[in-house]
Amino acid sequence: MAGLPNNRRKIKAFKDTCVIYYSRTDKCWVAHSLRMDQIGAGDCVVEALAELIKAVDHVLHCAQRDATLGVLREAPAWVRAKVTNAQKLPAEVYEIAYKMVRGEWPEKFEPEFKYPKNRRFVSEITEELMV
């Protein structure tokens, strides 16, 4: 198979799972990736998730430019354990966080989903990379 023309690139998908929980110590919501051990924090679930998406995106793009960078580093056992009894985060919340990161969500409209602070959520993170 011949290579792709210079103006066309393949898209490679990267998938990770994150757990989102309220940190009483830090007094904020934390989204923590399980395969990359990256975090995002915010005053609400969607803000923490958006910050995590930014972090994952940044690491992946840096790794594309520098093949010596390690991307995968498993989250600590205490973080992975938080997945137990975690609820699946509604896909719509992930979509809003993703749009916020990409500048596709209206800045004047701040979504704030109210969840009890004793709840935990799990969500998939998917990034498409040009390779």
The arithmetic mean of pLDDT across residues 87-93, rounded, is 95
Predicted structure pTM score: 0.87
Q: Give the per-residue pLDDT at 130.
A: 53
Instruction: Determine what percent of the chain is predicted with pLDDT higher than 90.
Output: 68
The pLDDT of residue 54 is 95
CB 88 within 8 A of CB 123: yes
User: Which pair of structure tokens corresponds to residue 6?
Assistant: 């210079």
Q: Residue 9 pLDDT more than 50? A: no
Query: Which has more confidence, 128 or 126?
Result: 126
CA 105/CA 97 separation, integer angstroms: 9
Instruction: Spell out the alpha helix ranges (H) of the chain.
Output: 45-65, 77-80, 91-102
Task: Indicate the burial class of 18 (C-beta count within 10 angstroms; 0-12, 13-18, 19 or more).
Answer: buried
pLDDT at 78: 97
Domain-wise residue ranges, the chain = 11-130
Question: What is the per-residue pLDDT for 111?
Answer: 84
Mean pLDDT computed over 104-108: 89
Looking at the predicted structure, is the pLDDT value of residue 6 above 60?
A: no
Which pLDDT tens digit goes with each residue over 15-49? 999 999 999 999 999 999 999 999 999 999 999 99
Is pLDDT at 5 greater than 50 in this prediction?
no
